[in-house]
Each structure stands twice: as structure tokens, then as C-alpha cells.
Amino acid sequence: MTETPSSAPRLRVAPSPTGDPHVGTAYMSLFNLAFARQQGGSFVLRIEDTDRARFREDSEQQVFETLHWLGLQWDEGPDVGGPFAPYRQSERLDTYRPYVERLLADGRAYHCWCSTERLAQMRDMQQKLKQPTGYDRLCHGKTREERAELPGFNETPVVRMLIPDDVELTFDDLIRGRVSAPRPDDQVILKGDGFPTYHLAVVVDDHEMGITHVVRGEEWISSTPKHIQLYKDLGLEPPKFAHMPLLRNTDKSKISKRKNPAARLTWFKEQGYLPEALVNFLALLAYPPKEGAAGEDVEVFTFEEFSEDFDWKKVNPVGPIFDLKKLDWLNGVYIRGLEVGELASRLLPFLQADGVLGDNPSLGQLARLKKVTELIQTRMVLLTEASALVRPFFLGDDEIEIAEDARAQLKDDSGAVLAAATKALEDVDDTRSGVLGSESGWSASAIEAVLRTAIVEEMGIKPKFAFGPLRTAVSGQRISPPLFESMEILGKTSTLARLHRLHDDLA
């Protein structure tokens, strides 16, 4: 890996492995990566796994897999290494202790022996008296022995930072300009188990890893004065900050995995969204559309196009509504834009999961899948919708089950329509000719011509109603891929067998 110049920006995303990755991890990664790539800088993935109570072992791998799926590739991280390894906080515990000792020695931090019960009572009293909640500094300036004589003593101390009276409460934000935050209390920076809290670890790690820009959600605005103060207390240069707007549900509440399945990053893959559509969607949530040649909004763009003219000043600080209808629209656009073979390969895992195709499909099955994919490409919004459309092409003629809604729409003349269609199609020559038998009289155009003559013209049935029974016989569904093209793919033998079967069923 080539070293980036010292002037090049370094950005990071630092998820916690406490469950399925949150969609916000991809959202933050996208904006970090766009700026890093535009500026020729580096993008770092760091795993913040100091919350051992909520730690989940498989979660880290899910982070890797989902971000890889989205194409949001990092330059340094636990899996790829880098000059500032290790990239897991749990492997960096020895890194934090010297910083804590320095703060203690300089009087900018102190030990606190208060029990959790005592802290809970203190907060309850503050709330009853309508006072600001925060630590009351009972332990500040006391030795262990002095504190032990007072109520609510705990043998294992934590370390708290000492917030000075003149703490700076405003800071410059790349998105929001000058920002004000409430006064912080004396935050715990080292827990009793020896693990740092987020506030200390993030400052130390960002400094040690040379992070120049900290891009995170707006919920961290209130913590920024603590972090800037820690940089100041340690004599370190703080990074630049950019606080992204929070993703919100339609009711304006913060999107969460407990209430909204779409907050889970794995959900989008399961539902059949294309990664490039999701990346495009996440960009549009907080960034304006690109401008076309005539000044029109261009909402469909690649990551490279997004990164090329990226500007923090264009980020909208207002929390965007997570509108899945827009994502569905984008997904349809991207599906229609794929080359047919590429779309077929993306459909394959979903078809295999649903039992439409086996684990090792034959070349003939793959060739048929490509033909079917071309028929259904404009009829899908999600890849998961393919199985219902594709399944009839891979079932035996005697395995087609007629759906209830399809059967319900059949009219009294359906049997006569099926009989007329069968008679007409029997006369279509399906003999193969040409190079390797690539040509046949059994084509969609030939099929359509004879069926229109037999049913529309000779039976006098309007085209709108003429082919419903045939669609049901061929696919078992009320809605299916284009009928004549479907018959061409199935071939004459299967098509006639299915028409006969439904005709006999209705007799």
C-alpha cells in the first residue's frame, strides 16, 4: 500500500460490533469515503468494541461483508492491516493508559469511587430539584481514604475528566458552520474494568491514527466540547468536525433497528436491493441531485460521480426522511440498466434460495434463465420478485399450480379460448434450422400472429381479454412475463401441454 502524503486527509468510520450493522454505518462510510477519494486521502475502518456487554462476535464480519457488498472499500482496517494497527479498540488497551496517567498527573482528571447506587440517587435528586444532571464532583480532590469515609463508596474507581470553568462550548463544523453545545459534566474516561469509554478512546485513536476529519452523526454534537477539551488537555491538535444529519423515519423519529427493519444494513441485501442503488439513495438523503446539461436535477449517479464534485457545504443539515419509495424507484432504474447476463447472475442466488434452481444449474438452465431475465427485467423493483416470475419456466408441465386469483378471473369462454389457441398453435412449425439450429418458426411473432387471428379475429374477443386464460395456463399466475415470448422460451411441446392441462381441468 502506498503511503498518502502527510497533507492528504485521513477519515474513518468506527462502528461498534453490537448486532447487525446499522444503515447509518454505510451512510457515514459513503460520505467519508467520497471526500477521501476526492482529495486523494485515506479511509480507515476502526472497530470500536469496548462495549463488552453488548459485543457480538459475528457482528464485525457482518460489517466487513455489508460494506464490501456496497463497494465502500477502506484502505486500512482490522482485516487489511495498515501502518496504525491494531484497528480494534480491544487490542489497543495499552495505548490509552499513558494518556489517562498524563491527565491524572496534570490534574485534568481524577479518580471517582462513587457507587452506581450513589450516582443514581444523585441524578434522581437533581431531577426532582430540576437541576442540570451531571456528576457533583464528590470525589474530586479526595484521596481514596478520604472518599472511603463517605457514603456510596465503591472499591474499584473510574477516572473522570475535569471540565474547566472556561471550557469552550462552540466549535466550527464543516456542514453547520459555528455550532454551540451544552456544557458537559465530568465525563468518565476510564471504566472500572480498565476499558476506556468512547470519549477517551475516540480522541486517542483519532490522534494516533492521524485522522484529520471526524465525520459522524449529529447526536455527537453535544459530546464535541468534551473531545475538543481532551485534545487541549493532552496538547494535541484536534481534527476538523462534520456532523451529518440523522436519518429519520416518516414520523420524524430517529431510525432505529428496534423499530424499523430498514435500519439493518443486511435487510437491504435480503430484500433484493442492488448495492449501487442503495449507495445512490444514501447520497441523495443528505446531498442535492447533480445538475444536468440543461440545469435539470439528475438523481441517478455513480459513487465516482458523487465523489468527483463533493463539497461539505452542500450537505443538508436537516435530518432526511428515509423514504423507501425513492429507493424502490432507484432500484428499478438500476435493474433496468444492467446488462441481461449481469442481472441474471445477480438473480441466481435468490432463485437458488427459493428453490427455483439448484446449487449447480446446468448450462441449459442458465441459458434459459438469461432469456427469461430479458423478459422480466422491466417488471421488477426488487430482485426478490424474480422467483415468482421465473419459477414457471423451470417447472414440469404437470407441476404448474394455478393461483387462486388467476383461476378467479377465468370466464365462461376460457375453455373455448384454450381449445382455439391449442388448435392454432399446433400448426406452427417448430422445426429448427440455421447454424446449430438457432432459427425456428416457433417465435414470439409467429405465435402472436396465429393467436390474434384465432381468438381476436375469429372468436371476436377483445385483445384485453383474449389472452388471460393462456397466461394462466402457461404460468399459473394472473400476472406473468410477456405471454408470446414466454411461449417461445417454453417451446411448443410445453406450451401445448400446459394449454391442454388447464382446458381439461376446466372441462
All three cell numbers of 260: 424499523
Q: Report how far residue 361's alpha carbon sits from residue 370's, in angstroms, rounded to the nearest whole number.
A: 12
Q: Report how far residue 440's alpha carbon sits from residue 227's, in angstroms, rounded to the nearest whole number.
A: 73
DSSP code per residue over 439-499: EES--HHHHHHHHIIIIIITT---HHHHTHHHHHHHHSSSS-S-HHHHHHHH-HHHHHHHH
Q: Report how far residue 5's alpha carbon sits from residue 42's, in angstroms, rounded to the nearest whole number.
A: 10
| Predicted pLDDT of residue 437 | 56
User: How do the pLDDT tens digits run along the chain, 507 residues long?
Assistant: 334 445 799 999 999 887 788 999 999 999 999 999 999 999 999 998 877 667 677 888 999 999 999 999 999 999 999 999 999 988 998 999 999 999 999 999 999 999 999 999 999 999 999 998 999 999 999 999 999 999 999 999 999 999 999 999 999 999 999 999 999 999 999 999 888 898 999 999 999 999 999 999 999 999 999 999 999 999 999 999 999 999 998 888 888 777 788 889 999 999 999 999 999 999 999 999 988 888 899 999 999 999 999 999 999 999 898 889 999 999 999 999 999 999 999 999 999 999 999 999 999 999 999 999 999 999 999 999 999 999 999 999 999 999 999 999 999 999 999 999 999 999 998 887 666 556 788 999 999 999 999 999 999 999 888 899 999 999 999 888 999 999 999 999 999 999 999 999 987
Cβ count near 452 (within 10 Å) = 16
Q: Report how far residue 36's alpha carbon sits from residue 108's, in angstroms, rounded to the nearest whole number.
A: 34
Q: Report how far residue 246's alpha carbon sits from residue 343's, in angstroms, rounded to the nearest whole number.
A: 33
| Predicted pLDDT of residue 27 | 96
User: What is the model's pTM?
Assistant: 0.90
- Active-site residue (options: 226, 257, 269, 492): 257
The CA angle 371-377-382, to the nearest 5 degrees, is 130
- Please indicate whether residue 370 is annotated as part of the active site: no
352 CB-near residues (< 8 Å, 6+ apart):
358, 359, 361
Beta bridge partners of 439: 433
Written as one letter, the residue type at 266 is T
For the stretch 91-114, pLDDT in tens is 998 999 999 999 999 999 999 999
All three cell numbers of 118: 450513589
For the stretch 20-45, pLDDT in tens is 889 999 999 999 999 999 999 999 99
The answer to whether 286 touches 312, Cβ cutoff 8 Å, is no
The CA angle 11-308-245, to the nearest 5 degrees, is 55
Using CB atoms within 10 Å of the CB of residue 466, give its burial: 0 to 12 exposed, 13 to 18 middle, 19+ buried: buried
Reduced to 3 states, what is the DSSP secondary structure of residue 193? coil
Cβ count near 464 (within 10 Å) = 8
For the stretch 364-415, pLDDT in tens is 999 999 999 999 999 999 999 999 999 999 999 999 999 999 999 999 999 9
Residue where the block lists cell 478520604: 146
